[in-house]
Each structure stands twice: as C-alpha cells, then as structure tokens.
Amino acid sequence: MADTMQFDLVSPERKLVSVQASEVQIPAAEGAMSAMPGHAATITTLRPGVLRVVTAEGTQEFVVTGGFAQITGDATSVLAEQALPRDEVTPEALAEMVAEAERRVNEAKSDFENEPGPVDDAAKLLSDMVAMGEEIGLNK
Amino acid sequence: MPNLKDLKNRIESVKSTRKITKAMQMVAAAKLRRAQEAAEASRPYSEQFNAVMGGLAAAVAGSDSAPKLIAGTGSDQVQLLVVMTAERGLCGGFNGNIARLARAKAAELKAAGKTVKVLTVGKKGREAIKRDLEEDFVGHVDLSEVKKLGYSDAQGIAADVLARFDAGEFDVATIFYATFQSVIAQTPTAQQIIPASFDSEGEESALFDYEPSEEAILADLLPRGVATAIFSALLENAASEQGARMSAMDNATRNAGDMIDKLTIEFNRSRQAVITNELIEIISGAEAL
C-alpha cells in the first residue's frame, strides 16, 4: 500500500495546497477524523476547526470554517468554504468569523422562533468557532 | 469653414480624450489580469464541487425524496432571471449584450405564457432592461461598493435567491452573464441554476460512505452549489467586463488618433487658405496702386 496520498485543499477563492500527505486530520461534522492512505471512500461535511496535514516535510495546519471533504483510498480533497493557513489567522480575522457566527445565531433566533433546529445549528457553529479559537490559542 | 481657433481647440480636446481612453485601456488591462487570475483560482473548487455533486445528484435523482433544488418544484410557471452585469459603463457592448439575451429570453417566456421575475445584479444592466421589464423587477443587488469580489458576495446573492425559492416565489432560476473567451470575445450566457443540473460522468457514488447522511450532505451542499455557480459567474463577468472595456478603449484610442489626423489636415488646409487669401489681397492691393 502506498504510504502517501494526494491531498488538495481548495477554497472558492484559491487553491491552498496540493501535496502528497501521509495523514490528514479533518474536523468533520460528526467528530474529528483522520484520513490516511487506503481510507474507506467517504464524503463528509466539516465544522469550523483546525485541519492538519502531515507530509514528509512536516505538519501544516489550516483553519477552515466549513465545507466538505471527499476521501478516497488514494486522494483526499477538502473543499472549504473559507480556509486560511494557521499563521495567517489574526485575532481580528477570528473575531470577524465569530461575529459572523453570532450574527447568524441572532438571525436564526429571529427567523425561526418556534423551530429549534436552525437555531441549534447556528449556535453549534458559533461554539465550534469559539472552540477553534481556543484551540489555536487566539481567543480570550 | 470653421475658423482656426475652433479647430485648434477641437484638436486639443480630442487629444485629451485620447489620453483618457489610453489610460482607461491600461487600467483595464491590469484589472483584467487580476480578474483572470481570480477566475483561474476559483476553477479547482468549482470543478471538484461539481464532480462531487454530480455523483451525489445521480444517486438521489429519480427518488421521491430528491430535494427541490435538484428535482425542481414540478412546474416551470414562474421563472426568475438573474441578470448580472457591470456597475460601470464604457465597456463596449458588454452590458448591452447580456441585457439583450435576457430580454430575448424574457420575451420568449412571456410568449409561452410564463410569469417572469427579474433580479438584477449591477446597475448598468438594470438600466438597460428597465424600459421593457421594469414591472417584473423583484430586486437588485448593488456591487458598486465591492472592491474585490469575494465568495461572500456570491453567498449574499445566493441567500437572496434561495430565500425567494423557499418562499415559493419562483420555480426556475436562470443566471445571465458573459463567459470570458478572450479580450475580444465575451459570450453572453444563460445558465439554469435552480433546479440544478450537474454532469455526472459515471461517478461511482455508491462507493462512498456519507457522514452524516446522504440527504443531510445534499441539503448542506445544494445551497452552496448555487453560491458557487453565482461566484463563478461573477468572476467570469468581471474578467469579461475588463476585457470588453480594454478592447472598447483600444478602439476609442485608435479612433481619436484618426480624428486628430483628420482635424490636423483640416487645420493646416485652413491655415494655408488664410495665408493664400492674405497674399492675394496684398498682391491685388499692390497692383491697384
């Protein structure tokens, strides 16, 4: 079995990386997962979190805010809604993302007064966003 | 015959016009490069996205539970036309061509007895189709404040369109924009985004595990698909606009040059005529003595 696989991370605005990776840790919607060569073919949605790519040169980290990932045995593609290399994430950028998530919670609250679903979804997005901030050590 | 002073002023004013069009051409060339890069950069995303969607869509197509965004509402009575044009003019036939295509489509739909609703993006197109379709306008998206197109702009438009779809305001949505082929060729294009159609080139979708469920992923991805389609259209449009402006300004610069040549010849002739006239007067005056 090959010990690396093709990994692509793309956002609508640009292609961030395209490398041979031995392992990719993905913040999937239902819990983090690691994709390694030979992984069962899977499509999953993402929650806000940190994506780690292990390559021969070392580990790269990216902050993603959502999107989805397509995993096959020999390739993994992550199509993120918004993705930034971890070094480029400034406290201001994070604050902006959190503010956006907060706005969505409020919007959902006013739009769907009697339906808990969308409100919960938005609230989860917000807490994921804050947790991500803590994980990369930028939050208060 | 216009007098010399007028001609001279005229030449000066055409010269300064030429400077302006030349400058606009160069600015458009620089912006075009950036717009093309942006369009290029977004391509991997939309390609991969469509590949995944193709597989997913093929898997649910035909089943009763297929989401409305793929299966449609079962009717095509109310049609939403999203007409995307530029915020600025002076770009040749760019806005006019898109507006014409949209107008033709609207006329065709109306002739078939359908209801047409129009959502405009970019104020130039709005002005161009106002005369014929003003009573069908349902909304307008202003991008004149946007310096650099981002995915969030497309998401904003998509959210607007989807909210209307959920509210049952229309059955079919089509976007109108210009595809960039080259600096001199931009093709006005109509693309149906709701219900969406994806090319599924025999993707073995059945092989995939879906987490969470297939339906949940589709529900999450379909709205994103609308945003992605709009985003690529916006980027294509931006590149087309700059390309169209570049060639329009190139023509304008050349025409100004021709005009200056013509006016200069006229100016020289008039000056010569004045001199000849004066000479005749002097000579005949001298002879009369």
What pLDDT, on a 0 to 100 scale, did the predictor assign at position A140? 39
How many Cβ pairs within 8 Å bridge chains A and B?
71
Per CB-CB distance under 8 Å, the chain A contacts of B56 are 43
CA distance A28 to chain B (A): 8
Task: For residue A80, give every residue at least 6 positions away whose Cβ sits within 8 Å of its Cβ, in sequence order, or none.
Answer: A9, A10, A11, A46, A51, A62, A64, A65, A66, A67
- Is the Cβ of B222 closer than 8 Å to some Cβ of chain A? no
- At residue A102 the predicted structure's pLDDT band, cuts being 50, 70 and 90, is confident
What pLDDT, on a 0 to 100 scale, did the predictor assign at position B32? 93
What pLDDT, on a 0 to 100 scale, did the predictor assign at position B106? 92
What pLDDT, on a 0 to 100 scale, did the predictor assign at position B206? 52
Inter-residue contact A34 to A21 (CB < 8 Å): no
CA distance A85 to chain B (A): 17
Positive or negative, the CA dihedral B259, B260, B266, B267 is: positive
Tens digits of per-residue pLDDT, A42-72?
888 888 888 999 988 888 889 888 888 988 8
pLDDT at A121 exceeding the cut of 80: no
The DSSP output letter for B130 is H
Nearest CA in chain B to A42: B209
Interface of B with A in 119-158 (CB under 8 A): 150-151, 154
- Is the Cβ of B162 closer than 8 Å to some Cβ of chain A? no
| Residues B34, B177: Cα–Cα separation, whole Å | 19
Where do runs of H (alpha helix) occur along chain A? Answer: 91-111, 116-135
Mean pLDDT, chain A, whole residue set? 82
pLDDT at A137 exceeding the cut of 70: no
- At residue A129 the predicted structure's pLDDT band, cuts being 50, 70 and 90, is confident
Mean pLDDT, each 10-residue run in order, chain B (289 residues): 86 96 94 91 87 77 71 83 90 91 92 90 87 85 82 88 89 92 89 77 61 80 88 92 93 96 95 95 93
Would you call B48 and A43 a contact, using CB atoms and an 8 Å cutoff? no
pLDDT at A8 exceeding the cut of 60: yes
Q: Which residue has the higher pLDDT, A12 or A95?
A: A12
- Between the alpha carbon of residue B87 and those of residues A12, A128, B117, the distances in Å are 23, 38, 21
CA distance B41 to chain A (A): 5
Tens digits of per-residue pLDDT, A14-47?
888 899 999 999 998 888 899 999 888 888 888 8
